[in-house]
Amino acid sequence: MKKLIALLMFVSLVSCNMNSNKTAETNDVAMTAADATYNIVQDESSLMWTGREVSTSSHYGTINFTSGQFEIADGLISQGEFLVDMTSITVQDLTGGSKERLEGHLRSDDFFSVESFPTAHLYISSSEVISNGKWMVNGFLTIKDISHPVLFEMVNTEDGWNANLVFDRSKYNVKFRSGTFFENLGDKLIYDDIELKINLKTS
């Protein structure tokens, strides 16, 4: 019986990690937005990342925007483009030497190879209205010069434009302790899904 329960728990964990194009819902109160071109205020906008291990531990931090703008036309987010400075990646749940070591590791070829690929890119190609002030957005995320489609919600709120995006790091050749590339990792497994929580202040 114990073996059966353990097997069911394992299958559940694997299933949760198999969806390569998840959307994360936002729970923000939406506001009407006028047709216009919106430019982000770089120093006031934020991008938070979270990565999780099979052991239930996680790490999180920030990455800085280099630039960004998007356009609303006829009530739809019709296009947009955002550049992210991958060399700016930080870890916020650690301090001292542990923080420095993980930040260095994330910048290395085990993860995002920021010396060779210092910029990530998100392009918005179209959207559909979910409700007033909330859209389902289609786009392409480029990391390490590899592009894949992404789908995410974007909401206009009193606190700015919010979006939650989940991407599969294995699709961008980020292999370290990934079950897609390595077997029998046990409690060393790091999930492929990386969660991004985005808040945009615009002008």
pLDDT of residue 21: 54
Q: What tokens appear for 64 in the block?
A: 């800085």
Q: Are strands 58-73 and 36-39 parallel, antiparallel or unpaired?
A: antiparallel
Neighbour count for residue 90 (Cβ, 10 Å):
15
Task: Examine residue 142 and state whether it is found in any structural domain, yes or no.
Answer: yes
Instruction: Flag residues of the chain having pLDDT under 70.
Output: 1-27
Q: Which pLDDT does position 124 carry in this prediction?
A: 98
* Beta carbons of 29 and 157 less than 8 angstroms apart: yes
Residue 169 maps to which CATH number? 2.40.128.110
Residue 3 placed within a domain: no
DSSP state of 30: P
Q: Is residue 163 part of a domain?
A: yes
Give pLDDT, residue 143. Answer: 98
Query: Model confidence over 51-72: pLDDT tens digits?
Result: 999 987 999 999 999 999 999 9
pLDDT at 55: 87
Note the pLDDT of residue 9. 43
Domain count, the chain: 1
Q: What is the pLDDT of residue 120?
A: 98
Residue 26: its pLDDT value, please? 65
In a domain, 4, yes or no: no
Q: Establish if 2 belongs to a structural domain.
A: no
Q: Which structural domain range is residue 42 located in?
A: 20-200
Would you say residue 8 lies in a domain? Answer: no
In percent, the amount of the chain with pLDDT more than 70 equals 87
